[in-house]
């Protein structure tokens, strides 16, 4: 009985150590050099698996995503349909995303993006400070990560709303539901945060139409997936001045090509897909709890509905 680990960018040895501490009787196999007998693989921990590879393991009992999103797994048209796909729900990952969102919301709320621009121009100009309860923040997506960020911002005193496919009841957060509510949601949002799962329905959701629906001077924070954003539309909205700033952690092509205009745009801040890096110790504990459930005959938690994509 073994778990297969397949992720090119992760610290393999840190994950091996974390799993040995959590489940010492479960072998740890590293793809592609340590697979051994494919019939011994019971669980797979993956990020962007090679197409068709997961069909090789005839005794596979669960596929675990190494991130909160699963779009990188669902891209495989040969993914075994009978094996449950499980998303990563981990308190450390959630806390890190909340920290990231809270930081950048406060950055824009206090006009630090304007001061950074003024510094480059050696311009001394003050901006009036607004109270948090006058600042409208909107979260696209109220799942595990979006819901946690919305709660934290609401507790901090911001006017928070969330947009989602189904109604959510979160204290202090106004809920907008479905396609017909997207425009009203955007129209009241000064700081837009995207934490949606990437699906066929959310691909390109932040486009010219959505950006024009935001108030003049609004800002955009995308920490979900690059596919949510139509990059050329954002550049045009920034150049026109309708959108005053953007912080982007994710991109359609990663690493972001060196000649991409985002690198040098004065209104864009780039982080390198680091908003919510997982911690092997904490994530391994979460995944191990699910493997124990499966081994004891129970269904795993946080199983993905493949028809919805999350």
Residue 252 burial class via C-beta count within 10 angstroms: exposed 0-12, middle 13-18, buried 19 and up: middle
* Measured distance CA(194)–CA(135) in Å, rounded: 17
Residue 146 three-state SS: helix
Nearest of 78, 85, 3, 79 to residue 36 by alpha carbon: 3
Residue 178 three-state SS: coil
Alpha-helical runs (H) found in the chain: 12-22, 71-74, 91-109, 112-120, 144-155, 182-187, 208-213, 231-240, 280-295
Among the listed residues 159, 273, 298, 306, the single catalytic one is 273
DSSP state letter for 97: H
* Measured distance CA(289)–CA(285) in Å, rounded: 6
* Measured distance CA(5)–CA(259) in Å, rounded: 33
* Measured distance CA(31)–CA(7) in Å, rounded: 8
Annotated catalytic, 273? yes
Nearest of 296, 289, 227 to residue 64 by alpha carbon: 289
Annotated catalytic, 103? no
User: How far from 102 is each of 33, 99, 268, 282, 292, CA to CA, in Å?
Assistant: 41, 5, 18, 22, 34
Among the listed residues 114, 165, 225, 228, the single catalytic one is 225
Residue 62: CA count within 13 A, CB half-sphere = 27
Question: From edge to edge, which strands make up the β-sheet containing 41-46?
Answer: 27-30, 2-6, 41-46, 62-65, 85-86
Catalytic residues: 225, 273
């Amino acid at each position: 009985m073994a778990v297969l680990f397949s992720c090119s960018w992760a610290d393999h040895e840190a994950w091996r150590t974390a799993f040995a501490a959590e489940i010492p009787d479960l072998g740890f196999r590293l793809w592609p050099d340590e697979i051994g007998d494919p019939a011994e693989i019971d669980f797979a921990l993956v990020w962007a698996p090679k197409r068709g590879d997961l069909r090789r393991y005839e005794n596979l009992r669960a596929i675990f995503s190494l991130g909160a999103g699963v779009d990188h797994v669902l891209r495989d048209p040969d993914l075994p349909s009978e094996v449950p796909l499980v998303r990563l729900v981990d308190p450390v990952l959630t806390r890190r995303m909340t920290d990231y969102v809270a930081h950048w919301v406060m950055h824009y709320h206090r006009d630090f993006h304007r001061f950074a621009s003024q510094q480059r121009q050696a311009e001394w100009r003050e901006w009036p400070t607004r109270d948090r309860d006058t600042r409208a923040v909107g979260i696209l997506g109220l799942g595990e990560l979006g819901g946690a960020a919305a709660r934290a911002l609401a507790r901090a005193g911001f006017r928070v709303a969330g947009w989602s496919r189904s109604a959510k009841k979160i204290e202090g957060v106004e809920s907008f539901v479905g396609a017909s509510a997207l425009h009203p949601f955007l129209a009241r949002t000064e700081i837009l945060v995207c934490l949606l799962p990437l699906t066929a329905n959310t691909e390109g959701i932040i486009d010219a139409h959505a950006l024009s629906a935001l108030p003049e001077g609004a800002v955009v924070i995308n920490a979900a997936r690059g596919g949510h954003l139509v990059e050329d539309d954002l550049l045009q909205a920034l150049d026109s001045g309708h959108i005053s700033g953007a912080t982007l952690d994710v991109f359609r092509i990663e690493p972001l090509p060196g000649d991409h205009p985002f690198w040098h745009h004065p209104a864009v801040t780039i982080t390198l897909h680091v908003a919510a890096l997982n911690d092997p110790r904490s994530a391994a504990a979460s995944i191990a709890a699910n493997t124990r459930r499966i081994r004891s005959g129970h269904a795993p938690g946080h199983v993905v509905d493949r028809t919805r994509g999350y």
